Structure 1
């Protein structure tokens, strides 16, 4: 069967290595912020006034944001609260896999040295009939892409 391109972005899986495989901790409404950028530095050459040299300095990775319905029994949230309560960071590796129709990985991103940075909950509003959404923000050192 020929694969269709581009792949859809709604069939994916997130796993936290070292926290457990609780099914609730792998289901997310959205994953955002996965990006990399090369930071640059400009250099002005003496006598050359037409342009500046732009040199690559280092790679930079943005924080990742995960959203899901509020989970009341979650090893992932225990990891977050332990970090906030004790200020002892226990980094883990995160795998984000974009899946095909059969559930096999098409592309995966391996986030290294990820740790909890922020947790928030959606507003409580008696006039709305909405699910309580928790937002998890994590910082990570780097990622690799596997195709």
Structure 2
């Protein structure tokens, strides 16, 4: 069920889907954006005035950072190992970041095309600390579609 025009979604209900598997344990998504180059066209008008027009250029590839609590799940580690050893046919995946409404229905889907992990970072290990240990994976992707 879509939200009415005047309602907005809450930012805490989302998940990650790759290879048909939904991971809802993701705690943070940052850097999700669509961007393109800007081309400046400089020219003179018929009456001799100098103008600069801005035109849309090529789309840019992007990067998104996903954070989750450290678990026994080895999927992020396996995925980055495949990309580190050049198994790009296995590493490039299509997937989506899905935003859910208050009833758990998907309301927005950010589909990533040819995404693969660039880096994996484990949160700091500190003696006596009681905070949750996290892992961050940075995905690079060629394009993003929004549905």
Q: Shared fold (TM-score greater than 0.5)?
A: yes
Counterpart of 1:43 in structure 2 is 41
1:56–1:17 CA distance, 2 compared to 1 (3 A): same
Structure 1 runs of 4+ with >3 Å offset: 1-4, 46-51
- Matches for 1:64-143 after TM superposition, within 5 Å: 64-84=64-84, 86-89=85-88, 90-143=91-144
Q: Output one character per residue of 1:88-137: Cα deviation in whole Å (capped at 9) or x when no partner.
A: 22211111111112211111111111011111111111142222111100
- For the Cα contact (< 8 Å) 2:2–2:107, is it kept in 1? no
- For the Cα contact (< 8 Å) 2:28–2:67, is it kept in 1? yes
The structure with more strand, counted as a fraction of residues: 2
Counterpart of 1:33 in structure 2 is 31
**What displacement does 1:79 show?**
1.3
- For the Cα contact (< 8 Å) 2:70–2:135, is it kept in 1? yes
The count of residues paired between Structure 1 and Structure 2 equals 141
1:49–1:2 CA distance, 2 compared to 1 (3 A): closer
Q: Structure 1: where are the runs of 5+ without partners?
A: none
Counterpart of 1:53 in structure 2 is 53
TM-score when scaled to structure 1? 0.83
RMSD of equivalent CA atoms? 2.3
